[in-house]
A and B are shown apart, each in its own frame.
Chain A
Amino acid sequence: MNRPRWLVPALLTVAAALLAPLPFIVNDYYLSLGISLLNYSILATAWALFSGPTRYISLATVAFFGIGAYTVAVLYETLPLALLLVAVILVAALLAAVVGLSTLRLSGVYFVIFTFGLAELIRQLVTWFEVNVSRSLGRYIFVEYGSSVIYWQLLGLALLVFVGGWFLKRSRFGLALRMIGDDEPVARHAGVETTRVKLLTFILAAVVMALCGAVMAPRWVYLDPVIAFNPTLSFEVVIMALLGGANSLFGPLLGAVPLVLLFEAITANFPNTFSILLGVVFIAIVYFLPKGVLGLVAGLRLRRGSVSTSGFDADSAVALSGAVADSGQGAAASAPTAAVSAPSGEPGEPLLEVRGLRRTFGGLVAVRSLDLGLHEGEIVGLIGPNGSGKTTALNVISGALAPSEGTILLRGRSIGGKAPERIADAGVARTFQLVRVFGSLNCRENVEAGLAFRPQPLQGAQAHDESERLLAQVGLAGKGEWPAAQLTYIDQKRLELARSLAQDPSVLLLDEWLAGLNPSELVVGIELLQSLRGQGIAILLVEHVMDAIRALCSRCVVMSAGQVIASGPTDEVLSDEEVVKAYLGAEDA
């Protein structure tokens, strides 16, 4: 855990240095095997860089690889090396940007199919260009250097990719990628511009693939579009990365090495039936190693972890209670039933104001008309029977859904219809009715995810300390290193609140955050929310627990069937005849 940052990069550099003298030691056959190993390792790692976290299965590897090779074939006589590299990078980045912008909004399988055809499309366009513009199909590449230089270039590129990848994973950008991999909508609500992150990653991976193709181009001597854009390469890279495990930096390497050797053995021994055997290998891998080698390892680690963690949970309620007492603000309400007339915000300008909000799904009107105002340091309850439109209202306010009509103002500025990450930046944080944490991150990283993407981001040691403080505040002290997926449901709710608080919100939207707590946990939970109000945070509380509503909310807005049926001070609203009817039905009222 506490290995210094430079240890892995240093080891990688040493490994590269040890591999560098290979051309002086082995014969041509083994040198070309080495080149093949490096080539596929780089491609599979680049593929996993994008496809691992985003789960988009891209079959476009050869499109970028081929375009890199072809750029070299066309320009190598006219441009010096440095400019040639710049040209390769620019061409690949441009292509990836165009492809990414038009296809990253597509859902999974459309993206697969599009990338599947992309290599074929580019091949046709290049062929057309060569036939009609350059008037020559096929090009010769004569360079003065031999295989050894290509090997060293690839080794350098591989070192760059692994060291770069290692630092990238530990950066804010890498954190954003992991958040996207776990739960993209939540990442947006935590302030991550997910489209930009995905696009940049796609471009980065494409550039690496193109550079690989550029380095490999002289190996062929003769290059035509059919050679450069052979779709088999894309699939080989996918199966290598998946075999090794696409979610770790070195996983693809573990998949590439054995498969390159296997393919090499098949080519050497069964040249006529290569394609049949390649197919059989694919099928066998799908059957027997569905999660990849590293997937198996990760599974084992998780299982061992969960054994050692059982038996800790009993203390959490106590811990939460202690934490609130420490903060010194929970003393006011000792019992949840005690009505609180807290210093609700001044009746002046509301912090959050919703006017005439309407949201429809086709013919279904989920929210007919909603008006509410929320002042600084105020907790307003948004209540009503199931299906009355409360969660839809929260989704619209937080940007998960666009409003059909109406205005939403935060400090007088309209936020209605903006992207979730913009609304998060403006100071609105939320939790979810069905708890959503970043399952593959540990607790501290979950909170740091909130810290890293707010307008004044915290990173490094500061983020570490602040996340520990927030974890303690919600009652998760000492659980910072626990994988979030292993927490109990209640602890995950606490973690979600800590992540929301890490965003330093002025408005907090809580969707049934107190549901499912046992009586003693409820007391502590209510105290915690009161302490947040003491900090000046305005809370919109969607809740069914009446004790909590009475204890916390100065005012309530009651919805039924998408309509506001009552609004005002909590006590008045809860005794309103309409409200009772909506909850209990007409006969019982």
Chain B
Amino acid sequence: MIAADIAITGLIVGGVYSLIAIGLTLQYGVARILNLAYGETFVASAFGAYWLYDSLSMSPLVGLVVILPAAFIVNWLIYSFLLTPLVRRAANRDALEVDSILFTFGLLFVVQGVLLVIFGGQYYSYSYLAVPLDFLGSVVPVNRLIAFGVAVALGLVLYLLLVRSRIGTAVRAVAVDPRSASLVAINVRSVSALAFAVGGTLCAAGGALISMFYTFNASMGVAFTMKALIVVIMGGVGNVLGALVAGLLLGVAETSVSRLIDPGLTLAATFLLFILVLLVRPTGLFGRSS
């Protein structure tokens, strides 16, 4: 019974991990920006959902209609105006990586500082649809199920867009090789900006969804950045389906460790998994060996 419990709880958390990892894989795999402030988008969005619910009594699910376009615009502006100069001057991918790591770390502090000034350092939570439901023999709150459902739906929509649409093909082409992509008349810069913005939007969706059942504070973004990075690498950089599966896997692994061993060791377990994957399959669980 406990196994089924772990599986269901783990998969539900994992769904949100998958969503934010897919967003990060777009930002890092396509736009080539290693965004250390990624988790801040997540936390900012959680606070946004909280604020909409608390002051305007807006359901977080309706709140997504406000939060997602806002996240898209903000991320698009960040890429177009703040990151493009760095992309343009970068001599090679390594240089861009160092620049983007340091830049987004600065951004992390700015966002975190603003959140701290507005909300302070304490933990926040609110209760929305925290109704227990009997699901496949386990008791699961409805809000978690909804979060999982929305996350999976968003992930699938994105996957279909990438595989079936013209612009999705362009995004995948840039992910493989920006220089060749520009040779076949793909505007690499605008595709990158789009990918960065969509990535940030998915991350914001994850934050708004998780805020329904999770306590959060202004300084926990880094932990989510870490988890998203680990999932991305496990799934293979730029691989959307890989991120989906690796995210679910991480959710189950974390829940197992937390239930069976010690909740304090979840991150340690995550890291162990990460190292094992890197040593055994350096290109990710589903990456092609080069």
- Residues of A at under 8 Å CB distance from B? 55, 57, 102-103, 106-110, 112-114, 116-117, 120-121, 124-125, 127-128, 131-132, 231-232, 235, 238-239, 242, 272-283, 285-287, 290
Add 12 more A-B contacts to A242-B98, A282-B106 (CB < 8 A): A106-B278, A113-B230, A113-B233, A116-B36, A120-B267, A125-B265, A238-B102, A274-B113, A278-B106, A278-B109, A279-B107, A286-B103
A102 vs B106: C-alpha distance when bound (angstroms): 29
Most chain B CB atoms below 10 A, which of A107, A113, A120, A272? A113
- Known contacts A102-B275, A121-B268, A128-B265: A279-B113 contact under CB 8 Å: yes
A290 vs B233: C-alpha distance when bound (angstroms): 28
Per the 8 Å Cβ criterion, residues 241-262 of B in contact with A are 262
Per the 8 Å Cβ criterion, residues 215-234 of B in contact with A are 222-223, 226, 229-230, 233
Q: Could you tell me if A124 and B264 are in contact, using CB atoms closer than 8 angstroms?
A: yes
Q: Could you tell me if B94 and A108 are in contact, using CB atoms closer than 8 angstroms?
A: yes
Q: Could you tell me if B278 and A117 are in contact, using CB atoms closer than 8 angstroms?
A: no
Shortest CB distance B78–A (Å): 11
Q: B137 interface residue, CB < 8 Å from A?
A: no
Residues of B within 8 A of A290 (CB): 89, 99
Q: Could you tell me if A114 and B275 are in contact, using CB atoms closer than 8 angstroms?
A: yes
Shortest CB distance A383–B (Å): 30
Which of B94, B98, B112 is within 8 Å of A275, CB to CB? B112
Which of B97, B110, B262 is within 8 Å of A109, CB to CB? B97
The residue on A at minimum CB distance from B109 is A279
Which of A121, A274, A277, A281 is within 8 Å of B271, CB to CB? A121
Q: B86 interface residue, CB < 8 Å from A?
A: yes
Q: B129 interface residue, CB < 8 Å from A?
A: no
Q: Could you tell me if A281 and B106 are in contact, using CB atoms closer than 8 angstroms?
A: yes
Which of B116, B222, B274 is within 8 Å of A231, CB to CB? B222
A55 vs B93: C-alpha distance when bound (angstroms): 13
A55 vs B94: C-alpha distance when bound (angstroms): 10
Sample of 7 A–B contacts (CB below 8 Å) = A106-B282, A117-B271, A120-B267, A273-B113, A279-B111, A282-B103, A283-B103
Residues of B within 8 A of A279 (CB): 105-113
Shortest CB distance B217–A (Å): 13
Which of B82, B106, B264, B278 is within 8 Å of A127, CB to CB? B264
Q: Could you tell me if A112 and B109 are in contact, using CB atoms closer than 8 angstroms?
A: no
- The 10 nearest A-B residue pairs measured at CB: A282-B106, A279-B109, A276-B113, A275-B113, A279-B110, A283-B106, A279-B106, A128-B264, A286-B103, A275-B109
Residues of A within 8 A of B278 (CB): 103, 106, 110, 114
- Known contacts A121-B268, A276-B110, A279-B108: A286-B282 contact under CB 8 Å: no
Shortest CB distance A225–B (Å): 11
Q: Could you tell me if A286 and B94 are in contact, using CB atoms closer than 8 angstroms?
A: no
A282 vs B103: C-alpha distance when bound (angstroms): 7
Residues of A within 8 A of B103 (CB): 282-283, 286-287
- Known contacts A109-B34, A286-B102: A276-B109 contact under CB 8 Å: yes
Residues of B within 8 A of A117 (CB): 226, 229-230, 267, 271, 274
Which of A112, A131, A238, A273 is within 8 Å of B264, CB to CB? A131
Q: B101 interface residue, CB < 8 Å from A?
A: yes
The residue on A at minimum CB distance from B95 is A290
A276 vs B218: C-alpha distance when bound (angstroms): 13
Which of B97, B102, B107, B268 is within 8 Å of A125, CB to CB? B268
Chain A binding site: helix, strand, loop or mixed by DSSP? Answer: helix
Residues of A within 8 A of B275 (CB): 102-103, 114
Which of B94, B98, B117, B265 is within 8 Å of A273, CB to CB? B117
Shortest CB distance A291–B (Å): 10
Residues of B within 8 A of A276 (CB): 109-110, 113-114, 117
Q: B183 interface residue, CB < 8 Å from A?
A: no
Residues of B within 8 A of A281 (CB): 106
Q: Could you tell me if A120 and B110 are in contact, using CB atoms closer than 8 angstroms?
A: no
The residue on A at minimum CB distance from B106 is A282
A290 vs B88: C-alpha distance when bound (angstroms): 13
A279 vs B116: C-alpha distance when bound (angstroms): 13
Which of B101, B112, B116, B282 is within 8 Å of A112, CB to CB? B101
The residue on A at minimum CB distance from B90 is A290
- Known contacts A113-B230, A276-B117: A235-B105 contact under CB 8 Å: yes
A272 vs B118: C-alpha distance when bound (angstroms): 11
- Known contacts A272-B117, A279-B107, A282-B106: A124-B229 contact under CB 8 Å: no
Shortest CB distance A314–B (Å): 32
Q: Could you tell me if B86 and A286 are in contact, using CB atoms closer than 8 angstroms?
A: yes
Shortest CB distance A488–B (Å): 23
Shortest CB distance A266–B (Å): 11
A273 vs B112: C-alpha distance when bound (angstroms): 10
Residues of B within 8 A of A273 (CB): 113, 117
Q: B136 interface residue, CB < 8 Å from A?
A: no
Residues of A within 8 A of B34 (CB): 109, 112
Shortest CB distance A466–B (Å): 36
Q: Could you tell me if B102 and A282 are in contact, using CB atoms closer than 8 angstroms?
A: yes
Residues of B within 8 A of A103 (CB): 275, 278
A110 vs B97: C-alpha distance when bound (angstroms): 11
Q: Could you tell me if B109 and A120 are in contact, using CB atoms closer than 8 angstroms?
A: no
The residue on B at minimum CB distance from A282 is B106
Shortest CB distance A107–B (Å): 8
Shortest CB distance A320–B (Å): 34
Q: B279 interface residue, CB < 8 Å from A?
A: yes
Shortest CB distance B20–A (Å): 15
Shortest CB distance A116–B (Å): 7
Shortest CB distance B89–A (Å): 7
Residues of B within 8 A of A272 (CB): 117
Residues of A within 8 A of B262 (CB): 128, 132
Residues of B within 8 A of A235 (CB): 102, 105
A415 vs B192: C-alpha distance when bound (angstroms): 47
A109 vs B95: C-alpha distance when bound (angstroms): 11
Q: Could you tell me if A102 and B107 are in contact, using CB atoms closer than 8 angstroms?
A: no
Residues of A within 8 A of B82 (CB): 283
A113 vs B85: C-alpha distance when bound (angstroms): 24
A278 vs B278: C-alpha distance when bound (angstroms): 33
What per-residue 1/0 map shows which CB atoms of B128-168 lie under 8 Å from chain A?
00000000000000000000000000000000000000000
A242 vs B99: C-alpha distance when bound (angstroms): 11
Per the 8 Å Cβ criterion, residues 38-92 of B in contact with A are 82, 85-86, 89
Shortest CB distance B166–A (Å): 30
A122 vs B226: C-alpha distance when bound (angstroms): 14
Q: Could you tell me if A239 and B108 are in contact, using CB atoms closer than 8 angstroms?
A: no
Q: Could you tell me if A280 and B101 are in contact, using CB atoms closer than 8 angstroms?
A: no
Residues of B within 8 A of A277 (CB): 113
Residues of B within 8 A of A121 (CB): 267-268, 271
Shortest CB distance A420–B (Å): 20
Q: Could you tell me if B99 and A124 are in contact, using CB atoms closer than 8 angstroms?
A: no
A164 vs B98: C-alpha distance when bound (angstroms): 28
A276 vs B112: C-alpha distance when bound (angstroms): 7
Residues of A within 8 A of B106 (CB): 278-283, 286
Most chain A CB atoms below 10 A, which of B85, B106, B110, B279? B106
A285 vs B98: C-alpha distance when bound (angstroms): 12
Residues of B within 8 A of A127 (CB): 264
Shortest CB distance A120–B (Å): 6
The residue on B at minimum CB distance from A128 is B264
A51 vs B257: C-alpha distance when bound (angstroms): 34
A277 vs B278: C-alpha distance when bound (angstroms): 36
